[in-house]
Amino acid sequence: MSEIKCPNCGAMFDPHEPKCPYCDYINPAGAQEKYMNALEEKRLRLDNVDEEAADLYHTEMKKKGRRLALTIGITVAVIILGIVFFALKDRFFKPSYERSPEDEIKEIAWQRENFPKLDELYEAGEYDKLLDLYQQFSSETPYHDLWNWSHFSFADCLVRFSIFTESMESYPRYVREHNASALSSVVYSAFRFYYRDYDSDTKLSESDLAFLEGLSAYAEDIVRSRLHFSDDEMAELRTELYAKGYMEFSACEELTKKYIDRFTE
């Protein structure tokens, strides 16, 4: 390759150099060549960036496409499973309380036959026999719509009180064993009758309420003499126990654990 002579210092150097390597005198032709080469390199880099961006864009679109297809597939599968479930639920998941029209007719016939038996015991004030028959009907299979009976609310109170008195038979053992779980049931039942939880039921007659008043007196005695809660404490606890508009069993459980040491046989 022929060299050129520097017009400033007379040294010979490569004509592609942008300046003389000895005195730094500018070589216009070499400087222009270097500038143009730099521009070309920048253009090539920009072209590569565009290609990389395009490749990245296509890659991301493919990923989004796969994700979208997967999402659509899952959604369609869920919809299909939902349709199949609702189509077959009556066949395979039919609740035990649902009846066929024929069974409904049988139930209505059963009520017409047996509700008068309950009415007779209720009117006669034979509540022990009423409770026995009511519980017998409650345990029969298939079940019966006893809530359709006009005195269902009263019978329900009798059942609750019966469970309460039965639990009191084992109460001393519960206390000795410090069995908070079992004692919670006693506390729950005693408190419900103490607070006359049934007062809001409009289906109870004046005579029903008068009879239940005697049961509430028994519950009050248990609250004071066995659970050792004062009337002032019961008044304060009422707001806590009925925070949701009804007395929560879980609240009675917490109360039992907290005060179990005060309970006596």
Q: What angle do CA 153, 132, 253 make, to 5 degrees?
A: 60
Q: How far apart are CA 257 and CA 178, in angstroms?
A: 9
- How big, in percent rounded to 5, are the helix, strand and coil portions of the chain? 75, 0, 25
For position 174, what pLDDT does the model report? 92
Neighbours of 162 (CB within 10 A): 16
For position 80, what pLDDT does the model report? 66
The contacts of residue 188 (CB under 8 Å, 6+ apart) are: 247, 249, 252
In this predicted structure, the answer to whether residue 233 has a pLDDT above a threshold of 50 is yes
pLDDT band with cut points at 50, 70 and 90 for residue 32: low
Domain ranges of the chain: 4-65, 101-262
| Amino acid letter, 264 | T
Neighbours of 212 (CB within 10 A): 20
pTM > 0.75: yes or no: no
For position 93, what pLDDT does the model report? 45
Please identify which residue in the block is written with the tokens 């729950």. 188
For position 62, what pLDDT does the model report? 63
pLDDT band with cut points at 50, 70 and 90 for residue 247: confident
**What is the average per-residue pLDDT within 208-228?**
94
- Which among 117, 253, 104 is positioned nearest to 191, based on CA atoms? 253
